[in-house]
Amino acid sequence: MKQLWRKLNTLFAGNRPADHAAAIEALFVTDIAGIAKADFRTGKFTRVNSRLCKMLGRSEKELLTLGPQDVQHPEDSSRIMPDFIKAMIEHGRWEGQVRQVLPDGGIVWALISATVTSRDENGTPLRSIGIIIDMTEARRADEEAREYAEALRLGQMVGRIGTVRRDLVKGVIHVEPAMREIMALPQGDGPIPTTEWMERIVAEDRRRVVEQMRDAYESNAPEISLDYRTRCPRTGRLRYIELRARYQFGPDGKAISSTGVAIDVTERREVEQRLAHAAHHDSLTNLPNRTLFRLRLDEALARARRGIGFALLCLDLDRFKEVNDTLGHPIGDRLLVAAADRLKAELRETDTLARLGGDEFAIIQSFLLQPEEAAALARRLIETLSRPFIIDEQHVIVGVSIGIALAPQDSGDSESLLSAADMALYRAKSDGRGMWRYFEQAMNQRMQERRELELDLRRALSDDQLELFYQPIVDVASRRVKSFEALLRWRHPQRGLLSPDLFIPLAEEIGLIAPLGEWVLRQACADAVRWPEEIGVAVNFSPVQFQSRSLVKQIASALRKSGLLPRRFEVEITESVLIKDKDATLATLGAIKALGVRIAMDDFGTGYSSLSYLQTFPFDKVKIDRSFTCNLDQSRKSNAIVKAVVSLCDGLDMAVLAEGVETEAQLEALRREGCSQAQGFLFSRPVAARELPALLQKLQESPALTIAAE
């Protein structure tokens, strides 16, 4: 600002009144700062610009009835007035910060620089002009950094705003020294040829600036606005310049000169660019994000409508969640960055790779000549991501599954094409992962059926379409019923009775398994309390349910509300429950067991660590999988396995239940090997709760009776 006022003082002291008026006019039309003229004799404003009106919250008409003291805070006015008058008389200039009072009582902190523009014959100031800059936000900054921030703000404003005068007749421009480096111009005070100024503008902007200046001159435009870039000769850094100027015209009506203000807006433009980049790029990988990807996809579809096809590839990293869970999110983040680098290395500059979120990526493979090119790219991507990553000296192995949709063959709009690629990706993951699949129309039909099933399943709970069926578990020696296993069924209005394998995986996928499991728990307890007291109920629990912190409370609540004795309730889990988070699951099992309920390991022998789990946690019962039972008395290996399990569990005080018993020979083999309980079609198929009284009566009246599966 000092340099700006020094220039203005030079103009006022010189012999160029036209220049004086032009310079002041340029200041008044700028929106950089508030500008005001004032009369010392009346103490009133004589002219104000729109920026000052906005700053003070008053109209131009109102301000012209007031003076500087009328809008200043009374405390500041009385404090600064003696210094102000003395400085203006002796030096013709004053600068300071003053509080301005708004009509609503609010305060605006203003930096004011005032200078005398005319005096009477005795040297007494008559008129002045001032620049008023709103400093309110700077004053609100952190107290410790406020002085530095204000100084920096003022320094930037002073050093990056300057007047520029162009002489169109002589072909030169006059630029104050402070702006010369910013505008990449030679140092000094003399005029600079316009051609030399133009040469310093970066080539990409120069032609546009020349055309704008020519158009303004030929059309006799009153003013001109130019935005261009220069490169600082000292640092080589690009500077962004905004130049606003008004023309002065000769007798023939053609422009002969222009006077204006040049502003260095580099920091603002760089911030804008960073914000724009952040809005369109992923902060972790620096890849295009979903927003930019959709823009690129729309552009590719526009080209596809002109016959230039492309492939859309949707990718999901395999086993990424396991990496996050076992090694932590920092390793997971570094893995995503490394994976992105490998993917980029396989693509051309014309292709687009984006991160859509989590471990999801998408690729636009542009200018596709043959569909096989997409398959070739998919194979390369699968190969490169299947190689181990070394992160923090750890070998991390993941993989990738890829779905491919082709444009325009598969779709001509972005939503449908993305949906097609997603369906192909879902198929690739279902087929075993580490694979790629093209979209096929049949996938759309299957996905539609899946969506319909999902909607139906969400209604099933509220519409009472779910039922519990029960299959008896009998004592091998007496064939008396010991308990019933609760088995969920869905009585679909159109598809009939559905077994859980048709909808439980879907329920786990869409997050419905928790409410379904809670319903099964409450209903099983409510049903079992009506049975004979010596008969219990067994309920299966999924790994997802065991991730809930409220599971123990849910079981306790269901027992309490139903009145079922805890000893009659049995929790069945598979090894997969323990694999998720062994320590947390074992703690939950301990809390459940403390309620007084029994706990059984289901499908024993089909996992990898079943024996270690038996040693770690004291289960009450072990259920031998039907795959071993079906070959009893026909395979020495099956007999030996059953015998070994019975012997092991006997030493650990655990009961043994064999599933899938269908023949008397199998039952006899179990009795011979010492197995205590059995379950299967030899005794009964699963039946609805309403059929249990009749089933119990038949089994208890004639324990040897077998009820064949229908």
* Model pLDDT, residue 643: 84
Cα separation of 279 and 276, whole Å? 5
In a domain, residue 150? The reply is no
* Model pLDDT, residue 583: 76
247-290 residue pLDDT tens: 999 988 899 999 888 888 887 887 877 887 788 888 899 999 99
Q: Among residues of the chain, what percentage have pLDDT more than 90?
A: 34
596 pLDDT band, cuts 50/70/90, is: very high
* Model pLDDT, residue 200: 84
647 pLDDT band, cuts 50/70/90, is: confident
17 pLDDT band, cuts 50/70/90, is: low
Q: How many CB atoms lie within 10 A of CB 669?
A: 22
Mean pLDDT (whole number) for 178-198: 79
CB of 543 closer than 8 Å to CB of 576: yes
Mean pLDDT (whole number) for 318-347: 89
Burial of 17 (0-12, 13-18, 19+ CB in 10 A): exposed
Strands (E) located in 304-416: 310-318, 352-357, 360-365, 389-391, 394-396, 399-407
- Asked if residue 171 and residue 134 are part of one domain, the reply reads no
In a domain, residue 592? The reply is yes
709 pLDDT band, cuts 50/70/90, is: very low
Cα separation of 216 and 223, whole Å? 8
Q: Which residue has the higher pLDDT, 509 or 384?
A: 384
- Choose one of 230, 252, 271: the last residue of a domain: 271
In a domain, residue 170? The reply is yes
CATH classification at residue 287 = 3.30.70.270
- Asked if residue 409 and residue 473 are part of one domain, the reply reads no
* Model pLDDT, residue 21: 67
- Asked if residue 291 and residue 267 are part of one domain, the reply reads no
Q: Which among 190, 242, 245, 214 is positioned nearest to 29, based on CA atoms?
A: 245
152 pLDDT band, cuts 50/70/90, is: very low
In a domain, residue 705? The reply is no
Strand partners, 114: 94, 130
- Choose one of 217, 248, 271: the last residue of a domain: 271
Give the least confident one: 88-102, 148-162, 301-315. 148-162
Cα 264 off chain centre by: 35
Angle at 344 between CA 338 and CA 348, to 5 degrees: 170
509 pLDDT band, cuts 50/70/90, is: confident
Give the least confident one: 293-297, 313-317, 420-424. 420-424
Q: Which residue has the higher pLDDT, 152 or 52?
A: 52
Strands (E) located in 439-585: 466-475, 481-492, 496-498, 536-540, 569-573
CATH classification at residue 681 = 3.20.20.450
The total number of structural domains in the chain stands at 4
- Asked if residue 679 and residue 558 are part of one domain, the reply reads yes
581 pLDDT band, cuts 50/70/90, is: low
pLDDT at position 587 over 70:
yes
User: 242 by DSSP, 3-state: which?
Assistant: strand
- Asked if residue 398 and residue 254 are part of one domain, the reply reads no
Burial of 318 (0-12, 13-18, 19+ CB in 10 A): buried
* Model pLDDT, residue 316: 92
CATH classification at residue 7 = 3.30.450.20
- Asked if residue 266 and residue 120 are part of one domain, the reply reads no
Mean pLDDT (whole number) for 80-97: 89
- Asked if residue 247 and residue 336 are part of one domain, the reply reads no
- Asked if residue 416 and residue 500 are part of one domain, the reply reads no
CB of 49 closer than 8 Å to CB of 29: yes
pLDDT at position 76 over 80:
yes
pLDDT at position 381 over 90:
yes
For residue 450, what are its two tokens?
């899946």
Angle at 356 between CA 350 and CA 358, to 5 degrees: 135
- Asked if residue 522 and residue 631 are part of one domain, the reply reads yes
Residue 55: phi and psi, rounded to 5, are -65, -40
- Whether the ω angle into residue 186 lies within 30 degrees of 0, i.e. cis, is no
CB of 648 closer than 8 Å to CB of 614: yes
pLDDT at position 359 over 60:
yes
514 pLDDT band, cuts 50/70/90, is: confident
* Model pLDDT, residue 552: 92
183 pLDDT band, cuts 50/70/90, is: confident
* Model pLDDT, residue 160: 64
Strand partners, 399: 318
* Model pLDDT, residue 501: 80
Q: Which among 300, 561, 486 is positioned nearest to 408, based on CA atoms?
A: 300
Mean pLDDT (whole number) for 117-141: 86
- Asked if residue 677 and residue 634 are part of one domain, the reply reads yes
Region of 130 please: left (phi>0), alpha (psi -120 to 50) or beta. Answer: beta
In a domain, residue 147? The reply is no
* Model pLDDT, residue 297: 93
In a domain, residue 276? The reply is no
For residue 502, what are its two tokens?
């048709």
Domain coverage including residue 234: 160-271
- Choose one of 271, 293, 320: the last residue of a domain: 271
Range among 227-241, 328-342, 600-614, 634-648 rated most confident:
328-342
pLDDT at position 111 over 70:
yes
Residues 170-179: b if buried by 16+ CB within 10 A, e if exposed: eebbbbbebb
Cα separation of 129 and 211, whole Å? 36
How confident is the prediction for the chain on average, in pLDDT? 84
In a domain, residue 177? The reply is yes
- Asked if residue 137 and residue 7 are part of one domain, the reply reads yes
Q: Among residues of the chain, what percentage have pLDDT more than 70?
A: 88
pLDDT at position 642 over 90:
no
Range among 84-93, 197-206, 337-346 rated most confident:
337-346
Cα separation of 211 and 232, whole Å? 24
For residue 507, what are its two tokens?
């329920």
Taking the CA atoms of the chain, what radius of gyration do you get in angstroms?
42
Q: Which contacts (CB < 8 Å, 24+ apart) does range 212-219 have? A: 216/247, 216/255, 217/168, 217/254, 217/255
Q: How many CB atoms lie within 10 A of CB 554?
A: 16
H or E stretch at 250: none
- Asked if residue 377 and residue 243 are part of one domain, the reply reads no
In a domain, residue 149? The reply is no
Q: Which among 127, 39, 135 is positioned nearest to 96, based on CA atoms?
A: 135
